[in-house]
Amino acid sequence: MAIEPEALVPGDLIVMPAANYIMPCDAVLITGQSIVNESVLTGKAHKRHILYSGTHVLQTR
């Protein structure tokens, strides 16, 4: 089920695809792992638990 980012509210849970995904909103990873490319924001690609809108998610588990 797809939902527009504007319809999300704090506390909503989202399921991310396994790879190659652009985060539509800020989020906190509560289970699993992710490798992201935040080079647009920080200039680095690394493992993170906080995901920012526009972050390119390279891989999740």
Q: Which residues pair with 56 in a beta bridge?
A: 22, 37
pLDDT at residue 4 greater than cutoff 70 = yes
- The pTM is what? 0.70
Q: Could you read off the pLDDT of 40-54 as tens digits, one per residue?
A: 776 665 556 788 888
pLDDT, greater one: 16 or 42 = 16
Q: Decide if pLDDT at 22 tops 70.
A: yes
Kindly give, in sequence order, each residue whose CB lies less than 8 Å from that of residue 45, ignoring residues fewer than 6 positions away: 35, 36, 37, 38, 39, 58
Which pLDDT does position 46 carry in this prediction? 58
CA–CA dist 56, 21 (Å, integer): 6
Residue 20, pLDDT above cutoff 70: yes
Pull the structure tokens for residue 6.
């504007």
Q: What is the mean pLDDT of the chain?
A: 82
